Amino acid sequence: MWDAMGRRAAATRELMASWSRVHSAAVNWAERLHARIVRCRRCPRLVQWREAVARQKKREFCDWDYWGRPVPSFGDPEARLLVIGLAPAAHGANRTGRMFTGDASGRWLYRALHRAGFASQPTSERRDDGLRLLDCYITAAIHCAPPGNKPLPHEIARCNDFLREELARLKSVRVVIALGRIAFETYCKTRGIAPLPAFAHNRVYNYSPWLIGSYHPSRQNTNTGKLTEPMFDAVFARARELLDTQ
Ligand code: SF4
């Protein structure tokens, strides 16, 4: 009996050690990639814009030391849910340095993630606010704030190396939520999905991993009622259902 217990304990230790090796390998690639993203200066127009915004600031954030650099992805590199946004907002993530943190879109996103059990808290105001993503990883079509929230096609193409690498490395992803048409099409092109499927809100596309299209929670969509909170919650509830069927 003691032999059997000893074997079970050894097997458990080996399992934990192997999980820990896999986990730390995942964290390592993500940290290395994020460090490369933060140093990137490949798009002259965006470098100029993100730094100018960080110098000039908005009056309500005049006491902030703006991030003013590319914003790295955020979350668990072993997550099963991947969320793809468009780009950092000039006075949101370009100020705080964390994806969707400190702006109106982020307030919608983190509330929805929290309600569906993918975030430890419903608010996201600054990098050190204690928020953790649970089984979720957030990236974007581009990592620098673009003027007017409109990246140019060649800037999306340039930043695509980072997304391509992430998609190759995020081995546990089972469901992808693309926020807005640009994120949706960028994801499909990066995956080599052709012809491009028609974008629709809360439609599940039967790929591996599953893809769900969602309207972006931009002010333009939320203020006009094109996107309501129940509509947005339904997307994350759908993702949860798909993951629960695994
Ligand atoms: S958008 Fe992407 S490729 Fe262009 S400078 Fe920013 S991080 Fe680099």
- What is the tens place of the pLDDT at every residue in 175-216? 999 999 999 999 999 999 999 999 999 999 999 999 999 999
User: What torsion, rounded to 10 degrees, do the Cα atoms 34, 38, 44, 48 define?
Assistant: 140
Helix (H) or strand (E) holding 219: helix 219-223
pLDDT band, very low/low/confident/very high, at 100 (cuts 50, 70, 90): very high
Residue 59 DSSP class: G
| Residue 9 scores a pLDDT above 90 | no
213-234 pLDDT, tens digit per residue, is: 999 999 999 999 999 999 999 9
pLDDT tops 80 at residue 170: yes
Cα–ligand 1 centroid distance for 71 (angstroms) = 9
Q: Say if ligand 1 is within 6 A of residue 145 CB.
A: no
86 lines ligand 1 (CB under 6 A): no
Domain ranges of the chain: 2-244
Q: Which CATH architecture has domain 2-244?
A: 3-Layer(aba) Sandwich (3.40)
Answer whether residue 16 shows pLDDT above 60: no
199 C-beta neighbours (distance < 10 Å), count: 18
Kindly state if the Cβ of 88 falls inside 6 Å of ligand 1. Answer: no
**From the alpha carbon of 47, which atom of ligand 1 is closest?**
5
Q: How long is the chain?
A: 246
User: Contact at 8 Å (CB) between 131 and 124?
Assistant: yes
pLDDT in tens, 19-58: 565 567 777 999 999 999 999 999 999 999 999 999 999 9
Whole-number Å distance, alpha carbon 27 to ligand 1 midpoint, is: 22
Dist. CA 158 → ligand 1 center (Å): 7
**pTM as predicted:** 0.90
Residue nearest to ligand 1 atom 4, measured at CA? 43
Q: Which residue from 144, 145, 202 is spatially nearest to 177, judged by alpha carbons?
A: 202
What single letter denotes the amino acid at residue 7? R
Q: Position 115: which residue type?
A: R
Check residue 20 and give its pLDDT: 61
Question: Which of 34, 39, 43 to mutate to test ligand 1, by most ligand atoms within 8 A of the CB atom?
Answer: 43
> What's the mean per-residue pLDDT of the chain?
93
CB distance 46 to ligand 1 below 6 Å: yes
